[in-house]
Amino acid sequence: METGNNEIRMQLALWFSLHGDLRFLSHHDTMRLWQRAFTRAQLPIRYSSGFNPHMRMSLPLPRSVGMACRRELLLAEWQGTALTADQHAALQKELPAGLAVREASLVPAQRAYQPQWAVYRLQLGPQVDGDALQACIEAFLQQKECTIVRPAHGRHPKRKIPARTCLAELRREGDSLIYKLLIQPKGTVRLDEIAELLEIQKPGDILGIERLETEYHAGN
């Protein structure tokens, strides 16, 4: 897409990791953190028009409160056609401990990133019975169908979530549970629903969660 003065619109595709106490930030606070960092680093992020302009940026797959991540994607509209090493360094300098830029590049503004799947790691508490958990995993994987009924909540109607097809992978690795979720338009299974399926719902059963990897379809 081009503007009236033949400027080619670009957007910043920024991949970052987030750990430590920052994992407890809400989505709103995470966006404010990035806005402040961009401002202090004096990066040319495009603003919306109107009486209350704001930076045009988004997180295609928002992170849940309490979740750490290794490689998250942030998109921000860019005013210009180049991203310099100095700008990259200036941004990293403004980020707090626990937040780091892993990769950054400029891509066409019309490119949309649609999440396809994500891999998660649950750190399990020492009281979790490994044999019992493995039995639950094997029983779940042997099912051809497993539907979770999600009750109506507020303006959201009652829904049926195909948990068996949402969970593409599910395995135990030492004191961790690794699972791969397919991102589907009709919804995907939540952490609390996975915990219920595998009978790991007691206090202390789950000590932490981290998103390890996400795959996006970059459409034009």
Stated pTM of the model: 0.89
Per the CB < 8 A criterion, the answer to whether 57 and 76 are in contact is yes
The CATH class for the domain spanning 10-110 reads alpha beta
77 vs 39, 110, 182, CA distance in Å?
14, 10, 28
* Dist. CA 198–CA 140, nearest whole Å: 8
Domain ranges of the chain: 10-110, 115-219
Distance (Å, whole) CA 100 – CA 94: 10
Instruction: Please report the pLDDT score of residue 219 as a whole number.
Output: 75
Note the pLDDT tens digit of each residue in 86-142: 999 999 999 999 999 999 999 999 899 999 999 999 999 999 999 999 999 999 999
- CATH 3.40.50 describes domain 115-219: no
Domains 10-110 and 115-219 share a fold: yes
Amino acid at the residue 76: A
Identify whether the C-beta of residue 108 lies closer than 8 Å to the C-beta of residue 2: no
